[in-house]
Amino acid sequence: MFNFINKIRGLLLITLLCLISACGSDGGGEHYVTEVNLTADKTTFPAGVSQTIEGQAIYNDGEISDASSGNSLWTSDDETIAVVDNKGVVTGVSAGTVLINANYLGGDGTASGAISITITEAVLLEIEIIPSNKSVPLGLHMKYQAIGTYSDNTEHILDNNSDISWSSSDATVATIDSASAIADTLKIGETTISVGYQNLISTSVLNVTNESLVRLVISPEMEGETSVPDGYKIKFTAEATYTNDSKVIVTDDVTWHSTDYLNLNPTSPNGTFEGIEPSMEEVTATLDLITSNAISVTVTDSLLESVAIESNEPSYPIGLPKQLIATGLFSDGSEKDIAKEANVNWLSKNTEIATVNNDGVLMPISMGKVVIQVTTEDDNIYDEKTFDITAAELTATIVISPADILLAPGEFHLYVATGLYTDNTLHILNGKPGINWSLSYGEDPNYNEGVSIDHRGVLENQYQNSRALTQQVEVNVKVDGFSNTEKTYVNLSATKVLGVSGNLSFVSPFSVTDAALLEFTSSIYQTLTENGVSGPENGEFVKLTQQSATTECANLVYNRHDDYRLPTSSELMSLWTTYDNSGDDDYQLYTEQKWSVGEYFWTSEPGEEEGSFKIVDLREGIEGNVSVYSTERYFSCVRDTAALD
């Protein structure tokens, strides 16, 4: 009955469109649509998963228009297998294969296209929340995503499904909207974010901190890009620095500004500006009453003269998606990647070999040659490139890079997995369906204490102040049954940065491990083994002379900063006053902040006697004077955070 009604509905609609437009006859006109091509990132997925179908309408003169979303009338041949809404979002209902149809009206004619969608019997096994166990300053939003792992070893984004539910265990700390999966932070504290779907639940801890915003810095997404032709877009990112020296990408949280919206208009997604009229404008962002640096942007009247599809890889194996680049050359000599511009369309001329979506992501399907075309809607400028889709298979050789890095608390890094295929070609595997990243420590194959790595290969050190010693964790990846061939480690630094009054950021003493990873220039140094009272039991920390400590601070590059120095005595005392100020035997800089304080700290301040320097005991807040030639001592490096980086 569903099929019969659906087909009748489709026939009536097509008939109505034909009456209006003479069903594709030229009717004396010269511009009419001839065909509609439909593509999807995935054409096979389990019941309950949703997938957006993209459409391209091709006209008799070669013009390509968007036939996606509400531009077409969407129907399913069998709604017991899959349903489709008016925006082309298909949701699997039960196992089987079904045709999804799009009827498009354009110019002097109509055309329809269809795509075959297969719904599998795979069962949802687990849900991963991204990000996992996150700390965020009060006032920021947090966007979550749910990734489902299924019994056929596939992963699918569950965000589009209306049946998925999000919740917060403490709505006074943060609330989360089930439709957008965006959490709003309301007060300092901790709450558990939960996602539920198909009787499975996954959780992630959200810690809302009291860190204050120190500065806001914006930069072009493409380094050095400060001009945009009218009709095209330029993107920016915003990074906030907080009192603990942590950095947070806040592109979606800030308010974006242009000096004249009529010439350079803020648009979606956040951080994107569209050039309207030739001019020179300034772009800024604001957050919590703080204004970012200003970037001058020139909107030009240059015209697109040519476009070229660029790729360093002329062939791709089946099943490995790849982002293509479309480099546009403009009349003023400038170049710009226009692959994702709204007025640019992508087309595969051999959809049985490979498809390409509207953002230029190529999906190889079967062996053969595929011609990929990119064209502009307005002036018919285009380029074509032929790619070989091979049946090459992944070998056991997988390399993860970088191999060994140090991550500061709160810092994150993208790992890249590169695989060798049987045709002796190398390909980046990130984004390949079924790729699985994991962490291990000792005998624990699924280590996640204070650290997480998501399905993209993004790893974040979430230790904050929970550990006193740097810890080394192994990074693993598994693709098509193969694992990385060489061990890769990440060193999760416990070197804590403490802020004072929003003006100073102090780095805690360095362990022997930290000194090696940071490549200290002082090859000879003494160590102190802590006793568990003023530092982690049996933890070894570096002691240097005053001169060597001064040198190491000047050379230090940590948490993406290189402007450290040795602090003065008054600055160290302000640190002790802020985080302890008790004078008792409960050394709070260690017990609360995990700083090792079992030795006096050098300062940059000369003492009262010639040849002496002041030192500070951060256990009890005591100042002293010693000869510059005296024994080695602890040191902390400080940077001025009031000044713009």
Q: What is the CATH number of domain 124-209?
A: 2.60.40.1080
How many other CB atoms sit within 10 Å of the CB of residue 24? 17
The b-or-e profile of 550-563 (16+ CB within 10 A means b, else e) is bbbbeebebbebee
> What is residue 56's predicted lDDT score, i.e. its pLDDT?
85
User: What is the per-residue pLDDT across 509-524, written as a single tens digit (0 to 9) for each?
Assistant: 999 888 888 888 877 7
Q: What is the largest CA-CA distance in the chain?
A: 101
> What is residue 379's predicted lDDT score, i.e. its pLDDT?
58
Residue 131: closest CA among 491, 412, 470: 412
Residue 525: pLDDT band with limits 50, 70, 90:
confident
238, 216 Cβ separation under 8 angstroms: yes
Q: Under 8 Å CB-to-CB from 373, ≥6 apart: which residues? A: 346, 347, 348, 349, 382, 383, 384
Residue 565: pLDDT band with limits 50, 70, 90:
very high
User: What is the per-residue pLDDT across 349-374, written as a single tens digit (0 to 9) for each?
Assistant: 998 999 998 889 999 999 999 999 99
Residue 9: pLDDT band with limits 50, 70, 90:
very low
**DSSP code at position 509:** P
> What is residue 108's predicted lDDT score, i.e. its pLDDT?
65
Q: What is the CATH number of domain 2-120?
A: 2.60.40.1080
How many other CB atoms sit within 10 Å of the CB of residue 371? 14
- Out of 3.30.2030, 2.60.40, 1.10.3470, 1.10.20, which CATH number does the structure's domain 394-492 have? 2.60.40
Residue 430 is encoded by which pair of tokens?
């990130």
The one-letter amino acid code at 65 reads S
How many angstroms separate the CA atoms of 206 and 196, rounded? 17
250, 237 Cβ separation under 8 angstroms: no
Give the CATH architecture of domain 304-390: Sandwich (2.60)
Q: 204-208, 246-250, 371-375 — which is least confidently predicted?
A: 246-250
Residue 500 is encoded by which pair of tokens?
């004072």
> What is residue 2's predicted lDDT score, i.e. its pLDDT?
42
Residue 11: pLDDT band with limits 50, 70, 90:
very low
- Domain 498-640 -> CATH class: alpha beta
Average pLDDT over the chain, rounded to whole? 87
Query: On the CB side of 636, how many CA atoms lie within 13 Å of its CA?
Result: 32
How many angstroms separate the CA atoms of 107 and 129, rounded? 45
Residue 557: closest CA among 527, 509, 601, 519: 519
User: What is the per-residue pLDDT across 158-200, written as a single tens digit (0 to 9) for each?
Assistant: 887 878 999 999 999 999 999 899 999 999 999 999 999 999 9
Inform me whether the pLDDT recorded for 154 exceeds 50: yes
The b-or-e profile of 311-349 (16+ CB within 10 A means b, else e) is eeeebbbbebbbebebbbbbeeeeebebbebeebbbbbe
Q: Under 8 Å CB-to-CB from 360, ≥6 apart: which residues? A: 323, 324, 325, 326, 339, 340, 346, 374
Helix spans in 487-615 (H): 512-517, 546-555, 569-579, 588-591
Q: Under 8 Å CB-to-CB from 582, ≥6 apart: which residues? A: 588
495, 408 Cβ separation under 8 angstroms: yes
Inform me whether the pLDDT recorded for 28 exceeds 70: no
Q: 131-135, 456-460, 472-476, 546-550 — which is least confidently predicted?
A: 131-135
Shared fold status for 2-120 and 498-640: no
User: What is the per-residue pLDDT across 314-343, written as a single tens digit (0 to 9) for each?
Assistant: 889 998 999 999 999 999 999 999 999 988
Residue 378: pLDDT band with limits 50, 70, 90:
low
Secondary structure (DSSP) of 372-414? EEEEETTT--EEEEEEEEE---EEEEEEEESSEEEE-TT-EEE
> What is residue 10's predicted lDDT score, i.e. its pLDDT?
45
Q: How far is CA 379 from CA 59, 66, 373, in A?
A: 14, 15, 15
Share of the chain above pLDDT 70, in %: 92
How many angstroms separate the CA atoms of 429 and 317, rounded? 11
DSSP element (H, E) containing 280: strand 279-287
**DSSP code at position 582:** -
Residue 383: closest CA among 357, 411, 409, 346: 346
Q: What is the arithmetic mean of pLDDT over 546-563?
A: 90
Cis before 131 (ω within 30): yes
Share of the chain above pLDDT 90, in %: 52
Q: 38-47, 168-177, 440-449, 492-501 — which is least confidently predicted?
A: 440-449
> What is residue 467's predicted lDDT score, i.e. its pLDDT?
64
Residue 107 is encoded by which pair of tokens?
């110019």
How many angstroms separate the CA atoms of 499 and 506, rounded? 6
> What is residue 472's predicted lDDT score, i.e. its pLDDT?
84
Q: What is the arithmetic mean of pLDDT over 131-158?
A: 87
> What is residue 267's predicted lDDT score, i.e. its pLDDT?
94
479, 604 Cβ separation under 8 angstroms: no
User: What is the per-residue pLDDT across 261-314, written as a single tens digit (0 to 9) for each?
Assistant: 999 999 999 999 999 999 999 999 999 889 999 999 999 999 999 999 998 788
Phi, psi of 566 (to 5 degrees): -80, 135
User: What is the per-residue pLDDT across 62-115, written as a single tens digit (0 to 9) for each?
Assistant: 777 888 877 789 999 999 999 999 889 999 999 999 999 999 877 667 889 999
14 or 172, which is more confident? 172
Inform me whether the pLDDT recorded for 157 exceeds 60: yes
Inform me whether the pLDDT recorded for 377 exceeds 50: yes
How many other CB atoms sit within 10 Å of the CB of residue 625? 15
> What is residue 127's predicted lDDT score, i.e. its pLDDT?
92
Q: What is the arithmetic mean of pLDDT over 116-133?
A: 90
Handedness of CA 50, 51, 52, 53 (dihedral sign): negative
The b-or-e profile of 407-419 (16+ CB within 10 A means b, else e) is bbbbbbbebebeb
Helix, strand or coil, per DSSP, at residue 162: coil
Helix, strand or coil, per DSSP, at residue 594: coil
- Out of 2.60.40.1080, 3.40.30.10, 1.10.1660.10, 3.40.50.2300, which CATH number does the structure's domain 213-300 have? 2.60.40.1080
Sequence ranges of the domains in the chain = 2-120, 124-209, 213-300, 304-390, 394-492, 498-640
**DSSP code at position 107:** B
Residue 8: pLDDT band with limits 50, 70, 90:
very low
336 or 585, which is more confident? 336
Residue 12: pLDDT band with limits 50, 70, 90:
very low
